Structure 1
Amino acid sequence: MSKPSLTMIAARARNGVIGHQNRMPWHLPEDLKHFRQQTMGHVVLLGRKTWESIGRPLPGRRMVVISRQSLTLPEGVELAASLDEAVARHATEDEIMVMGGAQIYEQAWSQADRLLLTEIALDPPGDAWLAAPDPAQWQEVSRENGTSQDGVAYAFIEYRRRQAEA
């Protein structure tokens, strides 16, 4: 049995910021729509802090909160003690999405096959960051540039992990 593809999905400011005080430091409706389209119908893994910032299940997705703490979660939302446990529990899925936050992304880098990154042309203050993908390990395969209704430039970028050379 093959393991599922692991896809990280993130929005990142030009300065690497992905969060500030447990919130995204921007409002970009275009990115929210993109996120919804990409994650719909998938198992979505997220950390406790990200869960607390959302505060509710996202319709059309099976959510797994990764935390070593015991949490009271609504019906239909699962708890896993680790990223590995969450992935193993859903081993029959074709693709599992990782939606953050920073600590969960850090754990997922080494296992992920794909990264769907929204790069946002802002430099907000923040307390959670995501490193840029290492070009030695990640190859950009598509880019769609846009400008939000508020005039903020952004790009939807897909990266794939480079295959190790034989």
Structure 2
Amino acid sequence: MITMIAAAGENNELGKDNGLLWHLPDDFKRFKELTTTHYIIMGRKTFESFPKPLPNRTHLVITRNKNYKKPGAVVVHSMEDALEISKNDSQPFIIGGGEIYKMGLPFADKIELTRVHGAFKDADTFFPEFSKDHWQLISKTEHAKDEKHKYSFTYETWIQK
């Protein structure tokens, strides 16, 4: 099962200048719980936004740059290559950014989407639109705004129909 995992605003905003638009500690915790021990597939800019590779995960980095090499990254040049390398993982995760999500959507079986309740006008990166005709919402968990979370949000799990 190939899963896309993302946090997106009400208008599918993901980030700006290769950073997030919000700080949601409980969402980070959930991301870690879901992705630990799995392959995580991302673009070069997403990989470079991490201070260091995330522990206990295999980082597959998609880039057009044939000479790109970084410690902690397995470099590939297409989504197909990334999926081939991760084929023995029961659930590789596509973790972004925007272009990588667009590339991954046709291959995905599941979307773990944290819908952040807010509109973020400064965003320059977006999660792709996906058709409710092809995807079914199977789970929804609300998380209220609190002292650690400036925005309320909802964990949504979608599967291909």
Give the TM bin, normalised by the shorter chain.
over 0.9
**1:108 counterpart SS class:** helix
Specify every segment of 5 or more residues in structure 2 that has no aligned partner in the other structure, as ranges.
Answer: none
**1:41 counterpart SS class:** coil
Query: Quick check: 1:158 aligned with 2:157?
Result: yes
**2:75 counterpart SS class:** strand
Aligned partner of 1:62: which letter?
A: T
The equivalent of 2:6 in structure 1 is 10
The equivalent of 1:114 in structure 2 is 110
Q: Equivalents in 2 of 1:150, 1:116: separation in Å?
A: 19
TM-score if structure 1 supplies the norm length?
A: 0.90
Deviations 1:38-96 (A, max 9, x none): 1011000000111111142100111111112122211x421011110011122222111
Q: Equivalents in 2 of 1:29, 1:92: separation in Å?
A: 30
Aligned partner of 1:153: which letter?
A: S
Q: Equivalents in 2 of 1:84, 1:55: separation in Å?
A: 27
Q: Equivalents in 2 of 1:123, 1:44: separation in Å?
A: 27
Specify every segment of 5 or more residues in structure 1 that has no aligned partner in the other structure, as ranges.
Answer: none
Q: Equivalents in 1 of 2:8, 2:129: separation in Å?
A: 9
**Deviation of residue 150 (structure 1)?**
3.1
Q: Equivalents in 2 of 1:131, 1:17: separation in Å?
A: 9
Residue 28 of structure 1, aligned match among 14, 24, 28: 24
TM-score if structure 2 supplies the norm length?
A: 0.93
C-alpha RMSD of matched pairs (Å): 1.2
Query: Quick check: 1:87 aligned with 2:50?
Result: no
Q: Equivalents in 2 of 1:133, 1:145: separation in Å?
A: 21
The equivalent of 1:48 in structure 2 is 44
Q: Equivalents in 2 of 1:68, 1:83: separation in Å?
A: 11
**Deviation of residue 21 (structure 1)?**
0.8
Query: Quick check: 1:138 aligned with 2:135?
Result: yes
